[in-house]
Amino acid sequence: MKFLSQILNILDTVGPAVAVVFLLRNKKVLSKEMQLILIFCLIQLICNCTASIIERLPVPRKFILLQNNYWVYKLNATASFLIILTLFLKYLLHCRPQVMYAALISYAAVSILLIINGDGISQFSSGSSAFESIVIVALSLYFFYSKLINTHEEVSIPETSIFGV
C-alpha cells in the first residue's frame, strides 16, 4: 500500500509540472485566463511537492507544521478555489466586481464558520472541500448553460479562449 501511495504522490506532481512547462514555453502569448491556469498549476505543483516532502520526513517532528501535511492541502484547496472562482467570475462569466467581492466575502465567512466548528488545519477538511466542490460544479453548470443559450449554432464551446492554448 505504501508503494501505491508513493506512485500517487509522484503522479500528483508530474501532472502540474508538465502543464507548467508547456504553459511557460508560451508565456508571452498566454491570455489572462491561461495565466490564471498557469498560476493554478504552479500552486498545485508547489503544494503537492511540499506535502510529499513533509510526508517523507522522519517521524519525530518538533515543529507543529511538520507533524502532518493536512495544512498544505488546506492551503492548496483554498488558493486553488480562489483562482478557479476568479477565473469563472471575472473571465468566463464576466461578472461585475461587486459579485466577485460578495463571493469572496461569502467564502471567507463559510471558511471561518467551518474552522470554528472543527474543520481546522490538522485534519482533512471535508466541510470546506464539499463547499468548494459545490460552488465549482454550480459555476461550471452555469457557464456551460450560458454558453449553450447565448452562442450561435455555428460557434462551438471549445472555440472559447479557455479551451485553446
pLDDT in tens, 101-137: 888 898 888 888 877 777 666 677 677 888 889 999 9
Name the average pLDDT for the chain: 83
On whether the CB atoms of residues 140 and 134 are closer than 8 A, the answer is no
CB 104 within 8 A of CB 154: no
Please give the Cα distance from 41 to 99 (Å, whole number).
Answer: 25
Q: What gap in Å lies between CA 79 and CA 43, rounded to an integer?
A: 7
| Residue boundaries of the structural domains of the chain | 2-153
Does the CA dihedral 79-82-74-118 come out positive or negative? positive
Q: What does the pLDDT read at residue 163?
A: 58
Residue 5's nearest CA partner among 54, 55, 73 is: 55
pLDDT, position 23? 93
